Amino acid sequence: MASESREELLAFLRKHVPFKDMGAFALDALAASLTPVAVVSGSFILTPGDVPPDLFIIHSGKVQARLAGDVNLTDQPLYDLEPGQSFPLAAVAAKRPAINIYTAVEDVQLWRLSSADFFRLLPGSCEFNRFVLDHVAGLLDESRRQIEIQFGQSNAEQQSLNAELGGLPSKAVVRVSPQASIRQTMETMVRARVGSVVVTDAADKPVGIFTQSDALRRVVVPDYPATAAIEEVMTTPAATLPERATVYEAMLAMATLGVRHLVIVDAEERVSGVVSERDLFAVQRVGLRNIRKVIEAATDIDAVSQVAGDVRRLCLSMLGQGVSAEKLTQFISGLNDSLTRRVIEISLAQHDLFGLDWAWLAFGSEGRDEQTFSTDQDNGIIFVCPDFSDRDALKLRFLDFAGDVNQGLARCGFPLCKGNIMASNPQWCLTQDEWQERFTHWVRLPEPEALLNATIFFDFRPLYGNQALAKALRKWLLDLTGDAKLFLRFMAENAVKAAPPLGMIRDFVFDNNPDFPHTLDLKAFGARPFVDAARIIALAHGIPHSSTTARLRAAAEQMKLGGDDINAVIEGFFFIQNLRLRNQRADTRPGGENRIDPDKLNELDRQVLKESFKQAKRLQSRLQLEYRL
């Protein structure tokens, strides 16, 4: 490898993300800074003691990553790395020690980029810069582009392209004056977490716009003085459209002008909003309001059932346009919430529950706001019974009502739960005291059935009725589990058994399912490790959220998880969710909705899937460390 020509090295780099997306000048500068390294099988390549860590790119051979620390992981490597992959990217970018030990599984040939050269070269490539900020997100962006190509042209539902820009969901516009310094402007963007600021005059009319792309091209790369006024580096004039312009006109303007942001102005030419390419990318979300109106207007279950079909078609269309799995699962859950509430309201008209204090609870994926196209019912009821002697009679009234709701939801495309986890089951139609008794029993006697119940019922969320009942139950539950060390340890032990299917020799390990050979279960061994770990962390640290990502982000804010890595974890989770959605979109045969043959994925998606499984393994390793497993 040492004698390899520059052309051969460049050809190698161009085969792999993110290097293949770098400009010719930046890629050539990278190649000139790389030095060859040969490591014999069984030797350490990098340990947490190497500070600052250098970046390694694997040319040939295989590298194994193991978690550093006092934990029994001798037979459980985190993952393997193969030619074209680099490590430890997050640690190098954050200027911190690596958290893993990297070992040569066989004789390995690598390219080393010193830490100093890494930061010298970083500003030279926007593509490499974006990838480094979140390497999983960088891979995902490329994957989403392929989804657009695959599905985007087949989308036939373009009715929302005629929606007016003034009617789109509005976000606060961040403004600065032309005299504001570059440093002040960039600090404002960071604080507001936005990708652009509008430069306005005293009359609030736009004189320019400054974006992240401008920052890289005009400030970072040329090392422009940060004390200079923003008017010296802003894009002027800003591309504008009136509020009455349509989404289609905005798309056409962006394509014609080659811009990614448009300033929306009112009749007086004053700033009223900003629309980005990303906003338009998820254009179908503007149809959400219309569908909700139709849901609210439905007068019977048959009408709701018809709308449910529209909901599925809308969500399929959004998937085809490359809308992220995070937003899409939220949309699916949000629309399904609306459908459920309408079915409840229609059923209430047939039952006398006036004056009673109760709430309809969603469990499982719906409780977490993480529903996919393939979902059944998981629900229950919590109610208040002022007089204990009336409890049985009151419960019968709720059960009769719940039976109608469950059947109505089934007619709307939500199959009855095979495990009978539904509000019409007397076991899950309980008073607040009864729910507390159930939770207490599961926590104090963590038997296998109790651990299984915890994975379903602890992710509850109110959909209808008195939400304060569910909020009080959540607070009570977190007080209970915060000190339940044995229960949490058993949950963690159970959680790490669902190991992501990464192989030590092959890319993936298959579970030999006779009905679906050579496939991976993306729900049981892909999404579940993230969901289980987030649940345990939430129960241990008093985090009140029910969704997986909200739990993980809250844990990072509380310093219970490393903030540097949390975005990669979340992106990994949602890539797996995205694959599940795409697989379900393909109308696979029953039982295979969450199963995928990795050999049928393109090279990029296989790489991102491996990265996503690695993030799941890292979460499980944190559980192993914390609970000494």
pTM of the model: 0.64
Euclidean distance between CA atoms 48 and 129, whole angstroms = 24
Residues of CATH 1.20.120 domain(s) within the chain?
Answer: 488-627
| Strand pairing category for 108-113 and 63-67 | unpaired
Q: For the sheet with 63-67, list strands across it.
A: 44-46, 100-104, 63-67, 79-81
Which whole-number Å values give the CA distances from 33 to 36, 57, 120, 174, in the listed order? Answer: 10, 12, 10, 40
Higher pLDDT residue, 157 or 542? 542
Residues of CATH 3.10.580.10 domain(s) within the chain?
Answer: 164-281
Q: Tally Cβ neighbours within 10 Å of residue 553.
A: 20
Which whole-number Å values give the CA distances from 182 to 199, 230, 273, 487, 530, in the listed order? Answer: 12, 5, 22, 53, 40
| Low-confidence winner among 57-71, 153-167, 205-219, 410-424 (lowest mean pLDDT) | 153-167
> Tokens representing 150?
């695959």
CA dihedral of 381, 386, 389, 391, whole degrees rounded to 10: -10
For 1-14, what is the mean pLDDT? Answer: 81
Euclidean distance between CA atoms 491 and 487, whole angstroms = 6
Euclidean distance between CA atoms 384 and 470, whole angstroms = 12
Q: Given a cut of 70, is residue 541 above it in pLDDT?
A: yes
> Tokens representing 397?
């009234």
Reported as a pLDDT band with limits 50, 70 and 90, residue 144 is: low
Euclidean distance between CA atoms 366 and 330, whole angstroms = 10
**DSSP-derived 3-state class of residue 233:** coil
Q: Report the DSSP beta bridge partners of residue 55.
A: 113
| Low-confidence winner among 89-103, 218-232, 330-344, 555-569 (lowest mean pLDDT) | 555-569
Structure letter (DSSP) for residue 16 = S
Class of domain 488-627: mainly alpha
Please identify which residue in the block is written with the tokens 């919590």: 382
**With 0-12 CB in 10 A as exposed, 13-18 as middle and 19+ as buried, what is 587?**
exposed
**CATH fold for domain 6-123:** Jelly Rolls (2.60.120)
Which whole-number Å values give the CA distances from 17 to 137, 508, 600, in the listed order? Answer: 12, 20, 20
Euclidean distance between CA atoms 546 and 550, whole angstroms = 7
**DSSP-derived 3-state class of residue 184:** helix
Residue type for position 37: V
Reported as a pLDDT band with limits 50, 70 and 90, residue 76 is: low
Q: Would you state the pLDDT for residue 335?
A: 82
For 248-269, what is the mean pLDDT? Answer: 80
Average pLDDT, whole number, for the chain? 84
Q: Would you state the pLDDT for residue 282?
A: 52
Reported as a pLDDT band with limits 50, 70 and 90, residue 61 is: very high
Q: Would you state the pLDDT for residue 152?
A: 45
Q: Given a cut of 80, is residue 167 above it in pLDDT?
A: no
Q: Are 67 and 110 in contact (CB under 8 A)?
A: no
Please identify which residue in the block is written with the tokens 């719906």: 366
Q: Are 340 and 464 in contact (CB under 8 A)?
A: yes
Euclidean distance between CA atoms 556 and 517, whole angstroms = 38
Residues of CATH 2.60.120.10 domain(s) within the chain?
Answer: 6-123
pLDDT digits (tens, 9 = 90+) for 281-324: 554 444 455 576 778 888 899 989 988 887 777 777 667 656 66
| Furthest-apart CA atoms within the chain: distance in Å | 88
Euclidean distance between CA atoms 387 and 90, whole angstroms = 59
Question: Under the phi-then-psi rule, with left for phi > 0, alpha for psi from -120 to 50, and beta for the rest, what region is 322?
Answer: left
Q: Would you state the pLDDT for residue 149?
A: 52
Q: Given a cut of 60, is residue 533 above it in pLDDT?
A: yes
For 578-594, what is the mean pLDDT? Answer: 79
Structure letter (DSSP) for residue 232 = G
Q: Would you state the pLDDT for residue 145?
A: 58
Nearest residue to 281 via CA among 244, 341, 322: 322
Please spell the DSSP secondary structure of 502-523, one letter per residue.
B-SSSSB-----SSSTT-EETI
Q: Would you state the pLDDT for residue 159?
A: 41
Higher pLDDT residue, 160 or 478? 478
CA dihedral of 533, 534, 540, 545, whole degrees rounded to 10: -160
Q: Would you state the pLDDT for residue 416?
A: 94
Cβ neighbours of residue 517 under 8 Å, at least 6 residues apart?
A: 510
Please spell the DSSP secondary structure of 282-340, one letter per residue.
TGGGGGHHHHHHHHHH--SHHHHHHHHHHHHHHHHHHHHTT--HHHHHHHHHHHHHHHH
Q: Would you state the pLDDT for residue 127?
A: 66
Q: Would you state the pLDDT for residue 156?
A: 37
| Cα three-residue angle 610-611-615, rounded to 5 degrees | 115
Q: Would you state the pLDDT for residue 154?
A: 39
Euclidean distance between CA atoms 252 and 245, whole angstroms = 11
Residue type for position 468: A
Please spell the DSSP secondary structure of 539-571, one letter per residue.
HHHT----SHHHHHHHHHHTTSS-HHHHHHHHH
Q: Given a cut of 80, is residue 616 above it in pLDDT?
A: yes
Q: If residue 624 lies in a helix (H) or strand (E), which one and from where to where?
A: helix 603-627
**Tally of residues, the chain:** 629
CATH number given to 164-281: 3.10.580.10
> Tokens representing 37?
């390294």
